[in-house]
Amino acid sequence: MNRQRNVLTVKGQGKYMTKNFSARKLFLNLLVIVCLGVAGWTGYQLFVLHELSPVSGSVIFIVDIGVLVWNISVLRSSHHRWKTPSFKLTFFSLLGIALVLAFAGIQPLAEYKDRMLSLIPSGGVSTLPQQEAPLVPYGTYKHTLGAWEQILTLNSNGTYEAMGTIIPFTAPKLSSGSIDRGTYRIDLNYLYITPDITGHTAKYKYRYSSEFQCLYIYTSSYSETPEAFYKR
Q: What is the pLDDT of residues 143-178, one digit of tens each?
A: 988 778 899 999 999 999 998 887 788 887 777 778
Most confidently modeled range among 70-74, 114-118, 192-196: 192-196
The percentage of the chain sitting over the pLDDT mark of 70, rounded to a whole number, equals 83
Spatial distance between the Cα atoms of 35 and 71, rounded to a whole number of angstroms: 9
User: Which residues fall within 8 angstroms of residue 98, CB to CB, at 6 or more apart?
Assistant: 109
Rounded-to-integer distance, Cα 109 and Cα 115, Å? 10
pTM: 0.45
Distance CA 45, CA 93 (A): 28
CB proximity list for 141: less than 8 A, separation 6 or greater: 151, 152, 153, 154, 215, 229, 230, 231, 232
Higher-scoring residue by pLDDT: 111, 144: 144
Ramachandran angles phi, psi of 230, nearest 5°: -90, 140
Query: Percentages helix, strand, coil for the chain, rounded to the nearest 5?
Result: 40, 20, 35
User: What was the pLDDT predicted at 186?
Assistant: 92
Distance CA 81, CA 75 (A): 6
User: Cβ neighbours of residue 111 under 8 Å, at least 6 residues apart?
Assistant: 207, 208, 209, 210, 211
Is residue 33 predicted with pLDDT exceeding 50?
A: yes
pLDDT for 7: 43
Q: Which of 55-64, 109-118, 123-132, 184-193 has the lowest mean pLDDT?
A: 123-132
Mention every residue, 6+ apart, whose C-beta is less than 8 A from residue 137: 213, 231
Predicted confidence at residue 134, as pLDDT, reads 79
Domains of the chain (ranges plus CATH)?
7-118 (no CATH), 139-231 (2.40.128.370)
By the 10 Å C-beta count (0-12 exposed, 13-18 middle, 19+ buried), 104 is classed as exposed
Examine the pLDDT at 125 and tell me if it is beyond 50.
Answer: no
Q: Is 93 helix (H, G, I), strand (E, B) or coil?
A: helix
Give the residue with greater pLDDT, 124 vs 23. 23
Q: How confident is the model at residue 139 (pLDDT cuts 50, 70, 90)?
A: very high
pLDDT digits (tens, 9 = 90+) for 48-81: 777 778 888 888 889 989 988 988 888 888 777 7
Residues 209, 230: Cα–Cα separation, whole Å:
10
The DSSP secondary structure of 18-44, one letter per residue, reads HHTB-HHHHHHHHHHHHHHHHHHHHHI
Residue 18's pLDDT is: 60
How many Cα atoms occupy the beta-carbon half-sphere of 227 within 13 Å? 21
What pLDDT score was predicted for residue 172? 78
Query: Residue 16 — very low, low, confident or very high, per pLDDT cuts 50/70/90?
Result: very low
Indicate whether 182 pLDDT > 90: yes
